[in-house]
């Protein structure tokens, strides 16, 4: 084995001298590498898990020993990863350490709410902390790199992977992308409690036609740049050191083969300096896309487009040497990719100490630590959205005030596995607190009885009788219905995303008993439930909340925590509305109920069942005295706005006040409103506070017809309120400076 002396590469400082020093170190390694070893650094292969634990295919073990594989994913735990790292460091010619990656999407062992749910907290500090704690736990388990955050904007709940994203708004999605990247990576990647982040999926993966996963994406570049690109940009500006290419095509070229996306846009325009990894076998799939004639051709296309690391297809390792001999690619193309990968290994400190992440004592101390478990509770509570809380017999059902008899019903009521949600990494479902368990702990003096009622798939109504009997003999029913963890997520598109099976039928029959029913919809996408919405008096969107789900929901039911979540995706009335989102455009014939020949449906309103930004509280808030500092704003000015917010109800609580803008006349059509700012505040009962917002010309910029980022003078309408529909409004004019 060739020996190196790698001492402190000055990582994480951003200092130019340190960067030059790092590049010299990278080049010193590169100069010693054979072509096969270089291609090995560009090769990412999987470990496997079965009932006995982690395993590695024999051929992959040999690839590591031969220097033909420099990166492994789906391998974790200190003991296992140390064995693999020892092979790379102690048995290969150059001893270059392995990079270990894993899908740490919303927690590692301790699972937090699915990302879409946590986005509904509108709490950026909380989301950054979730990523930081997930990184801490994953790093303690021997990992260096997470395939997160997913920042794909999506407006289509048929697409199952909305669960991993941040909803339908580019501004909020970008702020969350920034928060999560900072949380994962911290201030310095060489800190062994951090992970390298991976912004994915580049680009526009969240807009597949018909909501079908892996499907083609087709949109104008103007639309792409204004709505879908900003969250990726924010994640990259936050310092993400890797990006994953998406499966879909865009502008007619699969992303994995798109030099426009991966080189012109990502590297040259957005100044990304990290490495690009394909998605799972994404390079091989270029053949199915119909742009590559064979595996070798696919590898050439991907490398020349800007992909640095091949996940799982092994095409780079197996074919690029031949492509090099045939003059199809150049050694400098390979060297550029290897440099980018080695830089991150240096920045992670792996050349200083390949075993720095491999400490059994730290692993035992961090996994399921009190800090992680407490944050799982905090995050779960803030993620829940109260949609409805109407009076029954003159009194609101919620919060529950010491009911004597509680019927807990539904296939998700005592369900540990599905509370983890999709992409729950190494999460342990036996650690999950179910809704039933949480209610038993919180309402210890009540008589609590449970019935599953039905399942998710069949037409079996044999459990209805017992469930209805329990309801009739109880003071309140808490009903948990929705999706399983595998009915959303990757490869889980649904043409009609309603509540599966006969669960909604069970709910309607329980409501008919006359006993107050609190409906908990536990899902990973906005589901369609118009009949249930019409009949039910109390509805929570409770998502899949992770390890502490039951404790969080019991806290909310009891009033120990006042719900504060706000939707980040609109909930449609029916599948025919999809996609439905708040920042739509007016069209030349905006909807008019008195004019048939306008843009509307005959059978349903244009508006969603519940709009973006919506969420109730146990208390009431009022917004009033919305004031603008001036009605004229110069191009170099800042416009100051204020609004008074009062808690007019009987409970302390949080409110998220949202600021929207509409450009009334533009050189290209503009949305009816766009989120520009928000503030989440806590107000005690009876408390009033004046909130201050500012707008600059940067907030009013948009992508023009020539794809330039621009601001135009003219009239604007500005709105403020608790969601995207219940709004106060005012107008101002942007004028050219003299």
Catalytic residues: 279
> β-strand 395-396 against 391-392: which pairing, if any?
antiparallel
Distances (CA, A) of 62 to 47, 56, 101, 330, 562: 13, 10, 19, 27, 56
How far is residue 230's CA from residue 410's CA, in Å, rounded to a whole number? 40
- Return all residues near 264 (Cβ < 8 A) that are at least 6 apart: none
Helix (H) or strand (E) holding 295: helix 295-305
How far is residue 130's CA from residue 114's CA, in Å, rounded to a whole number? 11
Task: Find the distance separating the first CA and the last CA of the chain, reported in whole Å.
Answer: 70
Q: Of the candidates 17, 26, 12, 322, which has an alpha carbon nearest to the alpha carbon of residue 185?
A: 12
- Return all residues near 207 (Cβ < 8 A) that are at least 6 apart: 153, 154, 155, 156, 217, 219, 228
- Return all residues near 440 (Cβ < 8 A) that are at least 6 apart: 448
SS3 category, 668: coil
Helix (H) or strand (E) holding 625: strand 621-628
Helix (H) or strand (E) holding 478: strand 476-482
Residues 525-544, buried b or exposed e (16+ Cβ, 10 A)?
Answer: bbbbbeebbebbbbbbbbbb
SS3 category, 557: helix
CA angle 274, 275, 278 (to 5 degrees): 145
| DSSP code of residue 194 | -
How far is residue 76's CA from residue 62's CA, in Å, rounded to a whole number? 19
Structure tokens, 132: 């930081």
- Return all residues near 5 (Cβ < 8 A) that are at least 6 apart: none
| DSSP code of residue 265 | I
- Return all residues near 720 (Cβ < 8 A) that are at least 6 apart: 623, 626, 641, 643, 657, 658, 659, 660, 693, 727, 728, 729
Q: In DSSP terms, which residues pair with 702 in a beta bridge?
A: 710
- Return all residues near 518 (Cβ < 8 A) that are at least 6 apart: 397, 398, 400, 476, 477, 478, 479, 538, 539, 540, 557
Residues 90-99, buried b or exposed e (16+ Cβ, 10 A)?
Answer: eebebbbbbb
Our separate counts of H helices and E strands in the chain read 21, 30
């Amino acid at each position: 084995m060739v020996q190196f002396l790698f001492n402190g590469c000055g990582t994480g400082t951003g200092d130019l001298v340190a960067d030059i020093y790092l590049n010299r170190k990278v080049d010193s390694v590169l100069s010693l590498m054979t072509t096969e070893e270089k291609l090995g650094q560009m090769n990412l292969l999987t470990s496997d898990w079965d009932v006995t634990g982690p395993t590695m295919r024999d051929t992959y073990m040999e690839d590591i020993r031969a220097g033909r594989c420099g990166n492994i994913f789906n391998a974790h735990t200190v003991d296992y990863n140390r064995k693999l790292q020892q092979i790379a460091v102690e048995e290969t010619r150059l001893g270059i350490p392995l990079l270990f990656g894993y899908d740490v999407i919303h927690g590692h062992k301790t699972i937090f709410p699915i990302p879409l749910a946590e986005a509904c907290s509108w709490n950026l500090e909380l989301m950054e902390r979730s990523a930081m704690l997930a990184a801490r736990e994953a790093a303690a388990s021997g990992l260096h790199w997470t395939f997160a955050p997913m920042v794909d904007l999506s407006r289509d709940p048929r697409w199952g992977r909305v669960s991993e994203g941040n909803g339908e708004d580019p501004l909020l999605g970008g702020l969350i992308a920034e928060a999560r990247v900072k949380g994962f990576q911290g201030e310095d990647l060489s800190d062994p409690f951090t992970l390298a982040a991976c912004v994915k999926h580049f680009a526009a993966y969240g807009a597949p036609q018909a909501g079908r996963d892996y499907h083609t994406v087709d949109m104008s570049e103007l639309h792409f740049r204004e709505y879908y690109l900003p969250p990726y940009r924010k994640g990259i500006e936050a310092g993400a050191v890797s990006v994953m290419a998406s499966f879909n095509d865009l502008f007619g070229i699969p992303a994995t083969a798109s030099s426009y996306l991966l080189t012109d846009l990502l590297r040259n325009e957005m100044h990304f300096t990290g490495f690009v990894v394909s998605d799972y076998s994404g390079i091989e799939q270029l053949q199915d896309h119909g742009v590559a004639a064979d595996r070798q051709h696919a590898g050439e296309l991907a490398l020349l487009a800007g992909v640095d690391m091949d996940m799982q297809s092994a095409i780079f390792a197996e074919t690029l040497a031949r492509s090099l001999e045939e003059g199809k690619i150049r050694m400098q193309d390979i060297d550029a990719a290897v440099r980018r990968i080695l830089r991150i290994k240096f920045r992670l400190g792996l050349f200083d100490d390949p075993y720095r992440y491999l400490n059994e004592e730290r692993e035992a101390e961090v996994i399921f630590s009190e800090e992680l478990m407490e944050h799982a509770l905090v995050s779960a509570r803030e993620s829940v959205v109260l949609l409805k809380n109407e009076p029954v017999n003159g009194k609101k059902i919620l919060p529950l005030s010491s009911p004597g008899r509680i019927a807990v019903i539904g296939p998700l009521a005592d369900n540990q596995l599905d509370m983890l949600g999709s992409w729950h990494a190494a999460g342990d479902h036996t650690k999950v607190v179910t809704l039933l368990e949480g209610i038993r702990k919180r309402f210890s003096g009540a008589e609590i009885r449970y019935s599953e009622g039905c399942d998710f798939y069949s037409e079996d109504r044999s459990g209805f009788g017992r469930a209805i009997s329990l309801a009739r003999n109880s003071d309140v029913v808490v009903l948990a219905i929705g999706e399983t963890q595998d009915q959303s997520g990757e490869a889980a598109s649904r043409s009609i995303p309603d509540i599966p099976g006969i669960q909604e039928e069970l709910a309607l029959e329980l409501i008919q008993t006359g006993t107050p029913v609190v409906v908990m919809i536990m899902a990973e996408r906005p589901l369609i439930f118009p009949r249930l919405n019409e009949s039910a008096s109390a509805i929570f969107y409770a998502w899949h909340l992770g390890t502490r789900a039951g404790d969080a929901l019991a806290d909310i039911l009891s009033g120990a925590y006042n719900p504060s979540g706000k939707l980040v995706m609109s909930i449609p009335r029916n599948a025919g509305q999809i996609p439905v989102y708040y920042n739509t455009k007016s069209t030349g014939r905006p909807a008019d109920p008195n004019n048939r020949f306008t843009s509307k449906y005959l059978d349903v309103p244009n508006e969603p069942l519940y709009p973006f930004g919506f969420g109730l509280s146990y208390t009431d808030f009022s917004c009033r005295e919305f004031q603008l500092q001036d009605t004229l704003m110069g191009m170099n000015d800042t416009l100051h706005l204020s609004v008074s917010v009062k808690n007019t109800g009987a409970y302390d609580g949080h409110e998220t006040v949202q600021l929207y803008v509409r450009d009334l006349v533009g050189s290209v059509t503009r949305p009816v409103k766009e989120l520009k700012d928000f503030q989440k505040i806590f107000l005690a009962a009876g408390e009033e506070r004046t909130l201050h917002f500012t707008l600059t010309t940067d907030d009013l910029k948009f992508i023009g017809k020539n794809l330039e980022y621009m601001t135009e003078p003219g009239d604007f309408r500005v709105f403020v309120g608790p969601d995207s529909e219940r709004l106060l409004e005012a107008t101002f004019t942007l004028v050219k400076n003299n």
